[in-house]
Amino acid sequence: MQKSDKKNYFNAKTYKLIVLFNTLSKILKFIIFEHLWNVVKACDLILNIQMRACKHKSINMTLQLIIKKIHIVWSDTRRRVVSLLNLNEKNVFDNVTHSRLLHDMKKKKVLRLLLKFVKNFLKDWRIIITINDYMMIKCSVNINISQDSSLSSILYLFYNVNLLKACDDIRLRTSFTNFINDVNILTYKEFMKCNCRVLSEIYDRCEQWLKMHNIKFSKTKHELIHFTRIFK
């Protein structure tokens, strides 16, 4: 399907791929999703401030939570500067390492039966591409996590939960909010320079996690925002 508002449709990226799954496969994945979600809730495996794959939560709730945090800081004293660093994990679903994902899920005590399903779900994908009347023969594809699956978001939450924990430090006064591959790290002190030093330390921790998990930040999407109520 053609994407809207594109000037040139000779580029493959200007088309949206429509994926049709077997109905029984969809039902099975939904059942597994529900089981994984029950594990999450029962064992408190996923942090409350991860906003994707969490029912009834959206990007708007992420923004509302950030605003609420800022006002809580200011309610104590108006002199504090709040700094927010936004980081975007690049091509997250394409770079997930299967063995690391299964290892992280096993550490969270996910049932062996569910682990076996996830392991099989991640491999041996085959597709048939059709364009108008042309139909290509079935071929194998190598993907790390399918972006179109209902399981994708919750699997990635298991994958990056340790990254988010690294961003949360009471001593440094840092906290985070997360929506899929967007991580927002918030800190506050009396001076902007102090905030920058803290965020630099947290960023170094994130870099260590990235190397272990085959993920990179999209450096063109980094954003640093400072909030203050002291008007000069």
Going from the first residue of the chain to its last (232 residues), give the mean pLDDT of each consecutive group of 10, the final group possibly shorter.
77 70 68 77 58 57 86 85 91 78 83 83 72 71 60 78 84 86 90 94 90 85 89 60
C-beta separation of 178 from 49 below 8 A: yes
Domain count for the chain: 1
In contact, 180 and 156? CB cutoff 8 Å:
yes
Residues 122 and 8: beta-carbon distance below 8 Å: no
Reported as half-sphere exposure (CB side, CA atoms, 13 A), residue 55 has a value of 7
Query: Is 5 within the bounds of a domain?
Result: no
Q: According to the model, what pLDDT value does residue 141 have?
A: 62
| Per-residue model confidence (pLDDT) at position 196 | 95
**What gap in Å lies between CA 101 and CA 95, rounded to an integer?**
11
At 55 the pLDDT is 53
Q: What is the model's pLDDT at position 192?
A: 92
Residue range(s) defining the domain that contains residue 128: 16-227
Asked whether residue 118 is assigned to any structural domain, the reply reads yes
Give the global pTM: 0.68
In a domain, 89, yes or no: yes
Per-residue model confidence (pLDDT) at position 24? 63
Amino acid symbol at 231:
F
Q: Would you state the pLDDT for residue 147?
A: 57
pLDDT at 48: 52
Euclidean distance between CA atoms 188 and 195, whole angstroms: 6
**Residue 9 falls within a domain, yes or no?**
no
Q: Determine, yes or no, domain membership for 30.
A: yes
Residue 187: burial class (beta carbons within 10 Å; 0-12, 13-18, 19+) = buried
Q: What is the pLDDT of residue 81?
A: 93
Residue 4 lies in a domain: no
